[in-house]
Every structure is written in C-alpha cells, then in structure tokens.
Amino acid sequence: MKSTNPTTGETIETYDDHTESEIEERLSNAETAFEAWRERPVAERETKLAAVATLLRERTEEYAELMTREMGKPIAQAEAEVEKCAWVCDHYAEHAGRYLQDEQHASPPGSKVKTIYEPLGPVLAIMPWNFPFWQAFRFIAPYLTAGNVGLLKHASNVPGCALAIEEVFRDAGYPEGTFQSLLIPSDRVDTVLSDSRVKAATLTGSGPAGQAVAATAGENLKKTVLELGGSDPYVVLDDADVEAAATTGAWSRNLNGGQSCIAAKRFVVHDAVYEEFIKRFVAEIESFTVGDPMEQDTDVGPQARQDLMEGIHQQVAESVDAGATVLTGGEPLDCEGAYYPPTVLADVPPGCPVDAEEVFGPVAAVYRVSDEDAAIEKANDTEFGLGASIWTDDLDRGERIAGRIDAGCTYINELVKSDPRVPFGGVKESGYGRELSEAGIKEFVNPKTVWSQQPQTNDEDEVTIE
C-alpha cells in the first residue's frame, strides 16, 4: 500500500498491509475495549471527544498538508475539512447525552416503561479518499460517543490519513482498541465483516462496493448504513436569482476538484433564464485558479489519481461523441500531475455518460427545460437520490418542489452539504440510513425496551395477553 502525490506522481511513502495476525490482534483489542468503553458514562465519552476537537485545531496545518499531499485537495479546503471534523466533535461532545437520553413511555399503573440506547460493539467503517478526514469523523464522532468502538478500513491511496486519525484519538486519551485503522485491501473487507466480533458496518463509496458490503452483512444479520454515489440535480427556476445561482453552482460543482458525492452535477435550467445562467456560470468557472494545491489561492487541484482523471475524460469524450457541446474545458491539462480542468457540457443527449452515470470530477452537464414540471422530471431522471438544490425567489414554491424530488436532502437557494446538526443520507441507488444529528448517533445502538412492574400484592391470577 503506497501513498502517491497526484500533483507530481511521486511516491510519498509505502506502507505494509496488516498481516492476518495483526488483523486478529486488532479485532481482539476491539472486542476487549468495547466491554470497558460501553460502561463509561456518556459525559466522560463527550469529554474525550472534546479533547479530540482541541487536538484537531492544534494540528490543522499538519493534517491539511497530509490530505493535500495524498489526494490533491487544495490546502485551504483541506484546512476547512479539519475544522469541520473539529465541529462534528464539538457537536456530539455537547449533544450526545441528550440524544441518548432514556425515553419514557405511557404505561399501566404500577409500572414504568422506557427505551434505553445501548451500543452494539465494534463497528467497521469502509471510507473513501475524497474527504479523507471528514468521511471518517462523520462516523467516528457519533458511534464512539454512543459507546461503540471503531475499525476504519480507509481507501488505499490515503493510508497516511488513516494512521493520523488513529493517532489523534490515541493522543486524546482514548483507551487502547477503542479506535483502530486496518491497512487492508478491499478484498479483505468481507472476511473482517464476517467476523462475529464485528457487529455493524458503514460504508461511503460506490454502488458495487455498497452492494457487496450489504450482501455480506445481510448474510450475517448485521446492521449497515450506506452512503453511495450521487448525480445531484441543481434546478434553476425562472424566478431565481441567476447571479447567485450561477456563482454558488460553479463552486458546488468544483469544490474538492468535483470529487464529491453531493456536488451539483446536473444543472437543470428554466428556458427563461438559461442564456443568462450559462453566461454567468461559464464565466465563474473560468475564473477559478487551477494549480498547485499547496498554494492558498488555488481553487482546483489535481484529481486524486491519474486513472481517475483518465476515466473522467473518457466520460466527457464519449458524451461529446454522442452530441454534447463543450462550453469550456474538456481536455486534460498539458502539465505534470492528474489535472482536469473545470468543464461545462451543454446539449447533453439522454443516455450519454455524463447524463446517465455519476461523474466524479469537475464536469457540469447543463440542461434547458421549458417549465417547472419538466425541471422536476429531469431532476428525477437518475438512479441516484442523494441531494438536490433548488433555486427560486418563492420559498413556498421551492418547498413544494422539494417534496416532488427524490432525494435524501434538498436545499433551497443553497448548495447541498453535510452538517452535524441535520440528518444526512440518500435514497434509491444512493444508499440508506442516516448519518449525523440525532438520527446518526442512533443508527448503531440497540433501542432496548425496559419494563419495570411493581410486584403483585395479592394472590389474584393475572391473565397475560402476549
């Protein structure tokens, strides 16, 4: 397993995969750690998490540079990612106890009934490279604070990030085995997930990876949460603030080099504002600085790997061959590194790659529609259902349309984003389950009913109906 700088193609460092005996040791450590960790008061777990937030902020520069070296994220965006990880730790350090409070229920005289929330045990997380810290912290912060322990199988091109995340929890004083990274290839995941000591799994990644994890987990009756791909529609209606929609849309498509499941990917624009939107949208995209991701003023760096960049270009080339028009970009940059320029395609024919597939890079597909119903139809014309963005000056109209779009989350006059305070997840081929907020922390707990009944005070027979 090696870490390669996508800006230069140079190998940063090589890591040995964990051996069978090392994996066994980590599984055993997780099982042992869980028995003690689950008994710690929630308040104590919250305090530990707050310490992690402090360390993250102290090490922002170090961890941001590590992300940028391993997967090419512009340094300013990497610094923001570390801060977001600290924020999710702050959130659960403040709210986990309230989220996990016992829930009281109505009950007959002489009884008391409540639901308590108990952790499940070791949770395996299979995480991607595109947000190498945030994706991991999105699962770690709630699940560990609920009393579970974590095992992270990170993407093979960001092993340094995986070990750094393990380091920060160790340095914050978490007990040994509470959180561990597994440096293993994808073909070893099935064996780990099948192990009886692993009680649940969460995955952020591709559809095929999600299907494989869900199948193995289902065979072993283990709970899963899957956040898979997306082809998010960005709907601009006839009454939208076109300048704001174009500016935000350009950033939503190109943030993190376009390598985001919730990036705006299909821009569905009402005919009445189409020409103005295109003009502003292309101009905004062409203003982005593409270059060295270590420079603070860089907006778009390289793609995370050379093969990923080549795959994006193939999708673009095949779509152009099918009839799409390139408005800007469209060819790999002639320079060292896996650079693909921000690209806009119009006249996109149905069924071509940028229309039918997820494009995981800085490529926007723009569609002209005649009315609101056509916009909704095009927005839903995808197998995915992660997020959607709607732009209109009429918020009532926006909320009505949001109810007709098939997505796990919709944002009106805002780009789609994940936020610790609200549930996050998708529908259709974008997965199931929710992360973040109260819903997220309760995905991997046992909501146990506890019924307490006063002892009988007489000899009368009691008839029980089950």
Residue 465 has pLDDT above 60, yes or no: no
SS3 254: helix
DSSP secondary structure, 357-381, as one string: S---SSEEEEEEESSHHHHHHHHT-
Query: Distance between CA 89 and CA 67 in Å, rounded?
Result: 19
pLDDT on residue 63: 98
Q: What is the rounded average pLDDT of the residues 389-405?
A: 98
The total number of residues written for the chain in this structure: 466
Query: Distance between CA 150 and CA 200 in Å, rounded?
Result: 10
CA atoms within 13 A on the CB side of 47: 6
Domain residue limits, the chain: 2-228+430-450, 232-412
Residue 466 has pLDDT above 60, yes or no: no
Active site residues: 227, 261
Domain 2-228+430-450: homologous superfamily in CATH: Aldehyde Dehydrogenase; Chain A, domain 1 (3.40.605.10)
Q: How confident is residue 456, by pLDDT bands cut at 50, 70 and 90?
A: confident
Q: What is the rounded average pLDDT of the residues 44-65?
A: 98
Residue 463 has pLDDT above 90, yes or no: no
Query: Distance between CA 104 and CA 318 in Å, rounded?
Result: 58
Residue 197 has pLDDT above 70, yes or no: yes
Pair 309, 302: CB distance under 8 Å: yes
Answer yes or no: CATH 3.20.20.140 is held by domain 232-412: no
Residue 457 has pLDDT above 90, yes or no: no
DSSP secondary structure, 267-295, as one string: EEEEGGGHHHHHHHHHHHHHTSPBS-TTS
Q: What is the rounded average pLDDT of the residues 232-252?
A: 98
Residue 95 has pLDDT above 70, yes or no: yes
Pair 281, 246: CB distance under 8 Å: yes
pTM for this model (two decimals):
0.96
pLDDT on residue 409: 98
Q: How confident is residue 453, by pLDDT bands cut at 50, 70 and 90?
A: very high
- Tens digit of each residue's pLDDT (9 = 90 or more) over 283-317: 999 999 999 999 999 999 999 999 999 999 999 99
- Tens digit of each residue's pLDDT (9 = 90 or more) over 354-372: 999 999 999 999 999 999 9
Q: What is the rounded average pLDDT of the residues 3-23?
A: 97
Query: Distance between CA 301 and CA 307 in Å, rounded?
Result: 15
